[in-house]
Structure 1
Amino acid sequence: MIRPFEETDTDAVVALWTEAGVTRPWNDPVADIRRKTTTQPELFSVAVHDDRVVGTVMAGYDGHRGWIHYLAVAADLRGTGLGRALVERAEAALAALGCPKVQLQVRPDNPGVISLYEHLGYTRYEAVDLGKRLVEDG
């Protein structure tokens, strides 16, 4: 079952993100969750199986493009279609907001996820990725 994130999911979500390797030392995942619950919380979904959080997807829309973040699936459920279902849920929610396109970032050392997104119709394009921290989490 895929449903909206609930605050009581926090510890399980952080554990899943850690297991899936999507956390980074410079990002506090609890702070990321807290920030998301104050901005478009309806775009943060979890998949639950046997009362266990087994998947997540976080999306956002800025009026120009949508973004997908924190796609994670428990190791024992990868390859079952759960990742696809989570992405499709995020895409449907973004489309309902009038979002014309979706983008995402994948680290180059994660070919399995790149392959998943390509299978779902995402294409690579050349861009320079720049960033600046406004708040230091760690």
Structure 2
Amino acid sequence: MSALAISAITDADVEPVVALWQRCGLTRPWNDPHADIALARRRDNSTVLIGREGGAIVATIMVGHDGHRGWVYYVAVDPDCQKRGFGRLIMAAAEEWLRAAGISKLQLLVRRENEAANAFYGSLGFELSTSVMFQKWLDGRTPT
């Protein structure tokens, strides 16, 4: 694996991080990535970690917990930097962040059709859950 300098996001990192998420296809019309970052940074139970190579942000992960279970979102590796171990390194950093917070279980959501992501998480030891996810828009939107 290559070296990756991992740290918490700073104000100066927000725009490059959002651009990376857009490049990786992680943003959706109903999400505001700027608001998501601001919320994660405002709380002590969540953060956004970034990975740099040569000063450039090439990996990110948003990590948080509810006191019992950890969650990760916006797991991104620059498409030009994939297959170099950066995804594993940024995931390991999130796992360590959760362990330091006393959290022993990590969960995540992946779209069923995202075969590459499903294979990646499987290679990290994640197992398919038998839980069923329900959702409800509280602002009256049509379900997606």
> Which moved further from structure 2: 122-131 or 70-79?
122-131
Matching residue of 1:26: 30
Matching residue of 1:93: 97
TM-score where L is the length of structure 2: 0.88
Q: Which of 48, 69, 74 is residue 70 of structure 1 equivalent to?
A: 74
Return the alpha-carbon distance in structure 1 between the equivalents of residues 78 and 85 of structure 2.
12
Distance 1:61 1:41, change over 3 A: closer
* 1:46–1:57 Cα contact (<8 Å) kept: yes
SS in structure 1 opposite 2:64? strand
**RMSD of Structure 2 on Structure 1 (CA):** 1.7
Matching residue of 2:43: 39
Task: For residue 111 of structure 1, report the CA deviation from its aligned partner.
Answer: 1.0
Distance 1:108 1:52, change over 3 A: same
Q: Which of 110, 115, 118 is residue 111 of structure 1 equivalent to?
A: 115
* 2:50–2:57 Cα contact (<8 Å) kept: yes
Matching residue of 1:82: 86
Distance 1:46 1:134, change over 3 A: farther
Q: Considering Cα pairs closer than 8 Å and 6+ residues apart, tell me whether 1 or 2 has the greater RCO.
A: 1
SS in structure 2 opposite 1:117? helix
SS in structure 1 opposite 2:83? coil
Q: Which amino acid aligns with 1:60?
A: G
Instruction: Name which one, 1 or 2, has greater alpha-carbon Rg.
Output: 2
Return the alpha-carbon distance in structure 2 between the equivalents of residues 133 and 52 of structure 1.
36
Instruction: Count the aligned residue pairs.
Output: 136
Deviations, residues 13-35 of structure 1 (Å, cap 9, x unaligned): 01100011111110011111111
Return the alpha-carbon distance in structure 1 between the equivalents of residues 137 and 34 of structure 2.
17
> Which moved further from structure 2: 45-54 or 67-76?
45-54
Matching residue of 1:50: 54
* 2:70–2:103 Cα contact (<8 Å) kept: yes
Deviations, residues 42-68 of structure 1 (Å, cap 9, x unaligned): 632001122221110111111111111
TM-score where L is the length of structure 1: 0.91
Structure 1 unaligned blocks of 5 or more: none
